[in-house]
Amino acid sequence: MAAEGGLTTSGYIIHHLTNLTFGHLPEGFHRHHADGAVEVVGQGGTWTIAHGNEAASMGFWAINLDSMLFSVGLGLVFIWLFRKAALKATSGVPGGLQNFVESIVEFVDENVKSSFHSRNAFIAPLALTVFVWIFLMNLMDLIPVDWVPFLAQQLGVPYLKIVPSTDVNVTMGMSLSVFALILYYSISVKGIGEFIGELTLQPLGKYMIPANLFLEGVNLLAKPVSLGLRLFGNMYAGEMIFILIALLPFWVQWVLSVPWAIFHILIITLQAFIFMVLTIVYMSMAHESH
Amino acid sequence: MEAALLYIAGALIMGLGATGAAIGIGILGGKFLEGGARQPELIPMLRTQFFIVMGLVDAIPMIGVGIGMYIMFVVAAGA
């Protein structure tokens, strides 16, 4: 709170939950500046960074710069670290990094082997990427909430949300990618006829096709929605509680935020693990015919 | 009046979510211990499955807590 000066409590929270959005404002849009001045966007609209709730008027082509920066950056960290371990891998005495990477790869491999029984060389790397990437994105939650945004504000960046998985666009993007893979493998492994048959001929038999289609359709569409919103909701709620703790007087902050952070270590790992397990299970369901 | 209703809504979200999850995780933990007592050699496998299901059950009240606190401290404070 001290860092922000004269802001209200809810203003502080909303500021922390706003992404740095870049997008196109339409022609004739009224921009309200902090000093009370009103600027009308000229002909053809303008490409700019959103202030306040302007992001809602930007339409489809708005992009959250901070989410993209941190998620792609963390993806590159993951690739760099694992590649470094792979290049230096030795069959002799392994170093610390090699042990660490090997234990993660073996852990993911065991999980894939226990729930995926078809042959597909793509699933284990996919599971490893999903697990480590989501874990790294969730890990940003443990960085103190005011630290990076405050530094960015001193450098002139108005908003910064450093946890990409508290952005619903990122989590739904990942779950929709998994959904696309479900559809792709369902059609390419089982064939389009059997996939449609699976959607229409169970569970009530061939004379109840509309009811079957409704039940199976809900079942299919619930997968990406629940997958994405579960991760988003957990991370958003966790971040929210960190922000609320940061509003308290400084002498109680440690008492509350340290236990919550320790509990959060469990949650971030568990959510990354669940996303991975469900991805494997969905892939396995897409491969197995009845 | 409106702010009071918002606080009650937030409290209901958190309380009912916690009730459901408490019952669910209670049953889950009990069954886990039963299974472990019956077949101790299965404990590592059961523990993995236990954590998967616990994460699934735990997600909804966690989300509820987040939304409840958002309602209480942002929406109600701003209303």
The DSSP line for A152-205 is: HHHTT-S-----GGGSHHHHHHHHHHHHHHHHHHHHHHH-HHHHHHHHHHTTT-
Catalytic residue of the set A138, A230, A257, A284: A230
Query: Does B42 reach chain A within 8 Å, measured CB to CB?
Result: no
Q: Which residue of B has its CA nearest to A230?
A: B59
Q: Which one of A177-186, A220-229, A232-241, B48-57 scores highest in mean pLDDT?
A: A177-186
Query: Does A240 reach chain B within 8 Å, measured CB to CB?
Result: yes
The alpha-carbon gap from A237 to the nearest alpha carbon of chain B, in Å, equals 4
Q: Which residues of A touch B63 (CB under 8 A)?
A: 229-230, 233-234, 236-237
What is the model's pLDDT at position A1?
38
3-state helix, strand, coil in chain B (%, to 5): 95, 0, 5
pLDDT tens track for A96-118: 899 999 999 999 999 999 889 88
Please confirm, yes or no, whether A257 is among the known catalytic residues.
no
The alpha-carbon gap from A91 to the nearest alpha carbon of chain B, in Å, equals 28
Chain pair A-B, CB pairs under 8 angstroms: 57
What is the model's pLDDT at position A5?
45
Pairing of strands A38-40, A46-49: unpaired
Q: Residue A236 CB: number of other CB atoms within 10 A?
A: 24
Contact between B35 and B48 (Cβ < 8 Å): no
Alpha helices in A202-249 (DSSP H): 209-246
Mutate to test the interface with B, among A10, A53, A282 (most CBs of B within 10 A): A10
Residue A57 corresponds to which tokens in the numbers above? Answer: 């008027």
pLDDT tens track for A41-95: 877 788 888 887 788 788 788 889 999 999 999 999 999 999 999 998 888 888 8
Q: Which residues of B touch A8 (CB under 8 A)?
A: 77
Distance, in Å, from the CA atom of A133 to the CA atom of A139, rounded to the nearest integer, reads 10
Residue of A258 and A46 predicted with greater confidence: A258
Please confirm, yes or no, whether A234 is among the known catalytic residues.
yes
Distance, in Å, from the CA atom of A264 to the CA atom of B67, rounded to the nearest integer, reads 17
Confidence of residue B32 (pLDDT cuts 50, 70, 90): very high
Contact A241 B73 (CB under 8 A): no
Q: Which of A 254-273 lie inside 8 A of B, CB atoms?
A: 267, 270-271, 273
What is the model's pLDDT at position A28?
79
Residue in A13, A267, A274 closest to B56 by CB:
A274
Contact A244 B74 (CB under 8 A): no
Contact A271 B65 (CB under 8 A): no
What is the model's pLDDT at position A290?
64
Contact A10 B52 (CB under 8 A): no
Query: Does A241 reach chain B within 8 Å, measured CB to CB?
Result: yes
Q: Which one of A69-73, A155-159, A221-225, A234-238 scores highest in mean pLDDT?
A: A69-73
Mutate to test the interface with A, among B6, B74, B75 (most CBs of A within 10 A): B74
Residue B38 corresponds to which tokens in the numbers above? Answer: 């019956």
Contact B59 A230 (CB under 8 A): yes
Contact B66 A233 (CB under 8 A): yes
Return the SS3 of A249.
coil
pLDDT tens track for A112-148: 998 898 888 999 999 999 999 999 999 999 998 888 8
The alpha-carbon gap from A268 to the nearest alpha carbon of chain B, in Å, equals 10
